[in-house]
Structures are given as C-alpha cells and as structure tokens.
C-alpha cells in the first residue's frame, strides 16, 4: 500500500478500529476523529503507541475542528464511518440522528471538496427493499427507507455521489451487510451476535424479536475491514456503490441455535420496531469481487467461535 495520510471518522468504534488496524498495517498514517459516543479509547489502545496514529476526540458536527484537521494533515483519503447506528434511536430522536448522520456527513464532504480528498461513505444494507431473490441483493436492487436510520444513510449516499457528479470529487459508497466480531458492543441494540453470545456466557436465555424467521447475511469484521480499505483506496471504485457480505443468510432462529448450542433457552419476544424490520437480507457481492478481487474469508461458524473466545477473555 502506498504511504497515505488518512482520516477515519468513527475510528474508535467497532468496525472503525479494524479499519484503522488494516490501514496502519498497510503503512498508512491515520487520524481517528471520534466523539466516543459509542466508541471507546479501549478499542484503539493497541494503536496509541504507533507514531503513525493520532487520536482526536471530537465531533463530525464541529466544522471548525474538521477544517483545522484537514489544514494540519492534508488528508488524501477520508473514511467516513462515524454515525449513530441504533435504529430505535433514529425512530425516537430523528432530529438528533439527522444532525449527526446527515449534517455530519455534509461537513466532511465540504472539507473533502475543498481539498479534493477521496471520500468513502459507509452506508449499510439496511437501505434495501426486501428481496426474495436467491441470488442475493445486488447494488441495483431497489432501496426503501423503512427507518430514519436507513433514510439518513440514503441521504448520505446521495450527497456523496452528488459530489462525484457535480464536482468530480472521488467518492465511493459501500453497503456492508450485518457485521459481527470482536469489539462489537453487546448492550442495548448492539449486534445480534454480540448480544446473544454475551447472554449465553451469562447463562441467560437468548431473546429473539418477533418470530425469528427474518434472515441476516453476517459478515465477519476482518472481512468487512479489508473490503472497506480496498474500496476506499482503489481507483476502480470511484463513483461506485458496492455491497459486501458473506453471501449466505441465516434466520435469527438458526443463529440463536448456533450460538446457544443447546446450553441456554431461546425465547421469542415482541419486536420493538416490526415496521422497520427487513425480512430477508442476503448479499450478492459479485461487483466487489470483480472490481476489487475481494471475497469473504471467515465462515460464520469460525467467526462465532472467535467472538465467544474474545468475550471470555474480556471477562477474565
């Protein structure tokens, strides 16, 4: 990897810290901008002694701070991952999440426009309309904003792509499918794998929202991070939207069985937002494979074990 100066917003979060790790491994210089609202210094502890790494605690809503950072570091690439990712929060507090996710994205785009900084926008599979296509969801599949979270991501995508069309700013939009792995939060509406695994280790029943027939295409976080870094650094992805996922979906019922291994009971509880549920999510990642030579490497069974081992180490 060529030596580059890069900004990662949300780099103290779950996926962000793995992206930062990959960029540093590749010889890059990385600044993380994170307000630690859901991220943590603990997630990036292992990078803090690296002279190529800088952490800045601050918000993407602080346009002045962003301006100062861009002036000081002349970033070549901005990986924009910072967002409020909790769907229920977006339903309960749309104004707050709109500010964070849409206005925050606009602030970064403006800074990138002024300096022609390459921009990667981290969207999500949660923008897609339901699909029952066995070949999986491709990037041309219809979108449907079933939650403000999804709507704000679609807005961010549209803003980013408009900067490509209107100003020639090199942008890439990525839509990772549900991602899991070490460092994911297991509280509240955290990732389903983290929540289930924690409850199993505590000997508590696994609680499934609704009937559990909804499916998820679960991608291990190291696969997600390699996809994001490749997509953000390749010339071939400029102006493009790209999916990434495992290419295999499981129902939440199946996932609960795989994690519980019969050791804790599985219970169904009423869904907190059935209206914002997407019943089937299966990724078709052919475009990322063809453009980047990327494909997922970690099988779900192995990834689930990795999460459990990591969580056991945290509680020792």
Ligand X SMILES: NC(=O)c1ccc[n+]([C@@H]2O[C@H](COP(=O)([O-])OP(=O)(O)OC[C@H]3O[C@@H](n4cnc5c(N)ncnc54)[C@H](O)[C@@H]3O)[C@@H](O)[C@H]2O)c1
Nearer to ligand X, 122 or 256 (CB): 122
Q: How far apart are the first and last CA of the chain?
A: 37
* DSSP-assigned beta bridge partners for residue 57: 34
Nearer to ligand X, 13 or 170 (CB): 13
Max CA separation in the chain (angstroms): 56
Output the six-digit token pair for 214: 């909804």
* DSSP-assigned beta bridge partners for residue 250: 216
Shortest Cβ 39–ligand X spacing (Å): 2
Shortest Cβ 80–ligand X spacing (Å): 8
Nearer to ligand X, 122 or 206 (CB): 122
3-state secondary structure of 209: strand
Nearer to ligand X, 141 or 205 (CB): 141
Shortest Cβ 4–ligand X spacing (Å): 21
Which residues fall within 8 angstroms of residue 290, CB to CB, at 6 or more apart? none
Shortest Cβ 262–ligand X spacing (Å): 27
User: Do 76 and 4 contact (CB within 8 A), yes or no?
Assistant: yes
Which residues fall within 8 angstroms of residue 56, CB to CB, at 6 or more apart? 31, 32, 33, 34, 65, 69
Measured distance CA(206)–CA(313) in Å, rounded: 21
Nearer to ligand X, 59 or 197 (CB): 59
User: Do 161 and 106 contact (CB within 8 A), yes or no?
Assistant: no
Picking from 87, 171, 93, the residue whose alpha carbon sits closest to that of residue 124 is 87
Measured distance CA(19)–CA(32) in Å, rounded: 11
Shortest Cβ 3–ligand X spacing (Å): 25
Binding residues for ligand X (CB under 6 A): 9-10, 12-16, 33-39, 59-61, 81-85, 100, 104, 122, 124, 176, 178-179, 191
Nearer to ligand X, 205 or 295 (CB): 295
Classify residue 271 as exposed, middle or buried by CB count within 10 Å of its CB (0-12, 13-18, 19+): middle
Nearer to ligand X, 185 or 199 (CB): 185
Output the six-digit token pair for 41: 């210094």
Classify residue 101 as exposed, middle or buried by CB count within 10 Å of its CB (0-12, 13-18, 19+): buried
Q: Based on the residue annotation, tell me whether 183 is a catalytic residue of this protein.
A: no
Measured distance CA(66)–CA(108) in Å, rounded: 7
Picking from 189, 204, 221, the residue whose alpha carbon sits closest to that of residue 298 is 221
Shortest Cβ 11–ligand X spacing (Å): 7
Catalytic residue from among 149, 163, 183, 285 = 149
Shortest Cβ 299–ligand X spacing (Å): 18
Enzyme catalytic residues:
149
């Amino acid at each position: 990897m060529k030596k580059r100066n890069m900004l990662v917003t949300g780099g103290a979060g779950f996926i962000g810290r793995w992206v930062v790790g990959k960029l540093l491994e590749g010889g890059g210089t990385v600044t993380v901008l994170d307000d630690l609202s859901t991220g943590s210094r603990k997630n990036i502890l292992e990078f803090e002694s690296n002279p190529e790494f800088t952490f800045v605690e601050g918000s993407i809503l602080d346009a002045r701070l962003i301006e100062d950072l861009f002036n000081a570091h002349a970033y070549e690439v901005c990986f924009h991952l910072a967002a409020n990712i909790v769907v229920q929060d977006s339903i309960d507090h749309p104004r707050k999440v709109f500010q964070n996710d849409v206005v925050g994205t606009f602030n970064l785009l403006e800074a990138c426009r002024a300096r022609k900084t390459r921009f990667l926008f981290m969207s999500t599979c949660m923008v897609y309309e339901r699909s029952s296509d066995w070949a999986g969801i491709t990037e041309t599949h219809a979108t449907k904003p079933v939650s403000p979270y999804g709507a704000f991501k679609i807005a961010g995508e549209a803003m980013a792509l408009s900067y490509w069309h209107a100003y020639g700013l090199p942008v890439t939009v990525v839509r990772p499918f549900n991602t899991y792995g070490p460092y994911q939060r297991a509280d509240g509406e955290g990732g389903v794998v983290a929540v289930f695994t924690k409850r199993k280790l505590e000997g508590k029943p696994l609680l499934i929202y609704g009937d559990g027939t909804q499916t998820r295409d679960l991608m291990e976080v190291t696969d997600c991070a390699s996809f994001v870094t490749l997509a953000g650094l390749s010339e071939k992805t400029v102006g493009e939207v790209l999916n990434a996922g495992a290419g295999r979906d499981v129902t939440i019922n199946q996932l609960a069985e795989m994690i519980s291994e019969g050791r804790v009971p599985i219970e169904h509880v009423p869904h907190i937002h059935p209206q914002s549920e997407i019943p089937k999510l299966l990724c078709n990642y052919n475009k990322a494979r063809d453009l980047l030579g990327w494909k997922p490497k970690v099988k779900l069974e192995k990834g689930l074990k990795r999460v459990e081992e990591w969580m056991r180490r945290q509680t020792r």
